[in-house]
Amino acid sequence: MTRSIRPLVAGNWKMNGLKADLAIATEVARGYDASLKAAVDLAICPPSTLLFTATAALIGSRIATGGQDCSVQPAGAFTGEVSAAMLADAGASFCIVGHSERRTLHGEDNATIRAKAEAARKALLVPIICVGETQGEREAGKALAVVRRQLKGSVPEGLDAASLVIAYEPVWAIGTGLTPTAADVAEMHAAIRSDLARIVGKNAAAGVRLLYGGSVKPSNAAELMNVANVDGALVGGASLKAEEFLAIARACA
Ligand code: 13P
């Protein structure tokens, strides 16, 4: 953790969640008590079909919502796309961009992700820009180089600390139960912080929240959150269980 930075725990529901599952969000809200509120920010990124109702269900809870992706386009003939302004209109405060599932399954490159982050900012959303290496890249000793290239290509210049979140999610740790060692996370997050200084300036970089994501569970959250320069978590599977998500938030607090 970075002492001067208020941590953020964000849940990425991915393509999970029907109306009935809003009960998960309301259960998280019930468990987000005064001591947690004093220590950690929470956000839930449901599928866009649930964004409006999830935001409404969370009114008064101080839990933010976010989209999982946005179009690079502002509006128009782009069937199936959802614009950043639409997400904001539905109540979102954040938007995940560049998740590895988008990079891999939808061929999104760094330039596209940067354009999406810029589109998110135009709509006053805070982009959560995801970076992370594959297993092969780590085994080849290229993890740092890959992530630094992703950062350089996908993070817009000139954002302030409050307008940007970075999530380091090693692809091989997502949904697998595997996690990097604390030392590997520390090395990567330090490199991210120092490279960000070149992109957004030293002052902004010092305050940007750097989340770790990939198989974060109540059992490993405390260890991961105690690593230097880890300012919260981007949680997939465990964010679909209110008690687990809250336990991870407590580990951050
Ligand atoms: P898991 O927590 O299920 O590994 O997913 C991580 C993730 O991809 C969050 O964006």
Q: Give residue limits of the domains in the chain.
A: 8-233+248-252
- For 203-251, the pLDDT digits (tens) are 999 999 999 999 999 999 999 999 999 999 999 999 999 999 999 999 9
pLDDT for residue 121 is more than 90? yes
Residue 43 has phi, psi (to 5 degrees) of: -140, 145
Q: Which fold has domain 8-233+248-252?
A: TIM Barrel (3.20.20)
Cβ of 98 less than 6 Å from ligand 1: no
Q: Residue 215, annotated ligand binder? A: yes
- And the tokens for 159? 């954002």
Q: Residue 66, annotated ligand binder? A: no
- pTM score, whole prediction: 0.98
pLDDT for residue 2 is more than 90? no
Query: CA-CA distance, 190 to 168, in Å (whole number)?
Result: 11
Tell me, what's the pLDDT at 229? Answer: 98
Tell me, what's the pLDDT at 3? Answer: 78
Cβ of 214 less than 6 Å from ligand 1: yes
HEC per residue, the chain: CCCCCCCEEEEECCCCCCHHHHHHHHHHHHHCCHHHHHHCEEEEECCHHHHHHHHHHCCCCCCEEEECCCCCCCCCCCCCCCCHHHHHHCCCCEEEECCHHHHHHCCCCHHHHHHHHHHHHHCCCEEEEEECCCHHHHHCCCHHHHHHHHHHHHCCCCCCHHHCEEEECCHHHCCCCCCCCHHHHHHHHHHHHHHHHHHHCHHHHHHCEEEEECCCCHHHHHHHHCCCCCCEEEECHHHHCHHHHHHHHHHHC
Provide mean pLDDT across the span 37-58: 98
- For 130-177, the pLDDT digits (tens) are 999 999 999 999 999 999 999 999 999 999 999 999 999 999 999 999
pLDDT band at 1 (very low <50, low <70, confident <90, very high): confident
- For 72-85, the pLDDT digits (tens) are 999 999 999 999 99
Pocket perturbation via mutation, ligand 1, pick of 166, 174, 215 by most ligand atoms within 8 A of CB: 174
Question: Is 4 buried (19+), middle (13-18) or exposed (0-12) by CB count in 10 A?
Answer: exposed
Please list the residues that pair with 209 across neighbouring strands: 165
Residue numbers annotated as active site: 99, 169
